[in-house]
Amino acid sequence: MYYWLGFAAFALAILISVSLHELGHMITAKRFGMKVTKYFVGFGPTIFSFQRGETEYGLKLIPLGGFCKIVGMTPQDDDVAPEDQPRAMWRFPVWKRTVVMSAGSITHFLLAAVAAWFVAISIGLPNTAYPQTNSDQAKEKPVITISECTWIEIPTTQQDCVPGQNGGVAGPAYAAGLRDGDLITQVGTTPITTYGQLTEAVRTLPAGAVPFRYERDGVAGTAQVNLISAQRKPITDDGEGPTSTVSVAGIGWDFDSLPTQIKYNAAEAFPATADYGWFLFKNTFEAMKRIPDKIPALWHSITGSERDPETPISVIGASRLGGEAFQHGVPELFLNVFISLNVFIGIFNLLPLLPLDGGHIAIAWYERVRSWLYSRMRKPDPGRVDYYKLMPVTYAVILIGGVFTLLTATADIINPITIFNR
C-alpha cells in the first residue's frame, strides 16, 4: 500500500514539474507580448478546458506531460492569423526567444534548487563532496587517511600495496610526514576545505614538490609533498570512465566514519545547495555521455540478465524508486531522486537538437550569427532557417528518443532497479 502511494506521489510530482516547465514557457512568452493560445496538462482527449482571455487552459486524459501553444514558433507555421503576425514568436529578438525557450529548463533547475534547500535544512543533503567529516568534527574538516604505499596503476586483482612491488610506491604524503586525521588546509596556493577539493587540487598540479599546509591537534604545520604521476579514473559518483595520468599524493578518506546526510542551518543551506547542484550538473553530464555504452546492458536486462544499477531509468523507474523510498520510510531517497530527475530533464531539454527547446535556441542563435557575418561581408541577409529541411533530422531524434524511452520503460517494468528487497 505505501509503495503504491509513494509511486503515485512521485509520478504526480513529476507531472507537476513538467506542467510548471510549460508554465515557464507560457509566462515568459506572455510577458514579452507573444500570443499563447493553449496551455494544457496531459495529452490526448480533453477532459475539460476553459477560456481566459486569448488562452485556452485545460486537462487532457493522458498524464504524460503538457504543452503550451505559442503562435508562430517558426516562420513556416501556417496557422498564424494575419492579425497575429506581428506577435509571432519568430519575429521577436533572439534574446527574448532564448529566454522563452529556456524558461522550461530554468523552471526545473529552480524546482531542484528549492527542493534541495528544504532538504538541506530538514533531512540533510547527501555527503557528495567527500568532505570527509564525521559526527565529532565540524563539517568543513576532512577526515583523511595517509597511505604508506600507493599504486602507480590500480591493479586488476585485490592485493596488498608494497613499495617496489607490482607498481606499488611509497606514499608521497606519508613520506612527507602527514598522518591519518590531519586536516589539510592548503595545497600549493589553493585553500582546501573538502576532500573533493583536495583531490582536484592535487590532480591539477604537475608532479613534483608541493607545500601542504595542515593542522594536527590544533597545531598548524607545512609538509613538502613530492607528488608523483599515476593512472587514475575520473572523480565521478560511480568512479566510471577511462583512466588518465594525474598527480597523486597517496591520500584517501575514512568513508566509514562519514555521515551519509549533512544538515545545515538556513544560511549554510544556500552554498550547500549550490555545491550539491554543481555536483549533480557534473555527474549528469558524465552520465549522459555514458548512455550509449549502457544501451546493451539495458537490452540484456530485458532478455534475462541482471539489471545493471548504473543503467538509465525512465519516469516509471524513478517512480518505482520513489515508491520504495516511501514504503521504507526513506524520504531523503524520494527527494534526491526528484531533485536529480529535475536537473536531468532541465539539462536534456537544452541539448541543441530539434524538437527539444535547445534545438530552437541553437537555430535562433545560428540565424543571428549568420546574419551578423553576412552584414560584415556586405551581403544580403540570408533570412530564416527553413525548418522543413531539418525535418528528417528532427524525425530521427524523435525516433531514437522514442525507442530509448520504450527500452528504459520496458526494463523498468520487467527488470527494475531496486534499492530495497521488497
- Domains of the chain, start order: 97-127+263-422 (no CATH), 144-257 (2.30.42.10)
| pLDDT score at 236 | 57
Lowest mean pLDDT among 111-115, 131-135, 187-191: 131-135
The three-state secondary structure class of 62 is strand
Torsion angle defined by CA atoms of residues 109, 112, 114 and 118, in that order, rounded to the nearest 10 degrees = -160
Can you tell me the mean pLDDT for 43-49? Answer: 90
| pLDDT score at 272 | 87
113 contacts 275 by C-beta, under 8 angstroms:
no
Burial 255-264 (b: 16+ CB within 10 A, else e): eeebeeebbb
The answer, yes or no, to whether residue 270 has pLDDT greater than 70, is yes
Element (H, E) at 318: helix 315-327
The three-state secondary structure class of 333 is helix
Q: How far is CA 111 from CA 42, 64, 309, 342, in A?
A: 20, 19, 26, 7
Q: What is the pLDDT of residues 335-356, one digit of tens each?
A: 888 999 999 999 999 999 999 9
The three-state secondary structure class of 339 is helix
Other beta carbons within 10 angstroms of residue 19's beta carbon come to 21
The answer, yes or no, to whether residue 366 has pLDDT greater than 70, is yes
Helices (H), ranges, 33-93: none
Listed as own residue / partner, the contacts of 394-400 with beta carbons closer than 8 Å and 24 or more positions apart are 394/354, 394/355, 394/359, 397/353, 397/354, 397/355, 397/356, 398/355
The answer, yes or no, to whether residue 422 has pLDDT greater than 50, is no
| pLDDT score at 212 | 93
The yes-or-no answer on residue 54 being catalytic is: no
Other beta carbons within 10 angstroms of residue 163's beta carbon come to 12
Other beta carbons within 10 angstroms of residue 46's beta carbon come to 12
Q: What is the pLDDT of residues 306-318, one digit of tens each?
A: 887 778 888 888 8
| pLDDT score at 240 | 60
Give the integer Cα–Cα distance in Å for 403 and 328: 33
Q: Please give the full DSSP string across 190-229, using - where no structure is assigned.
A: EE--SHHHHHHHHHHSPSEEEEEEEEETTEEEEEEEEEEE
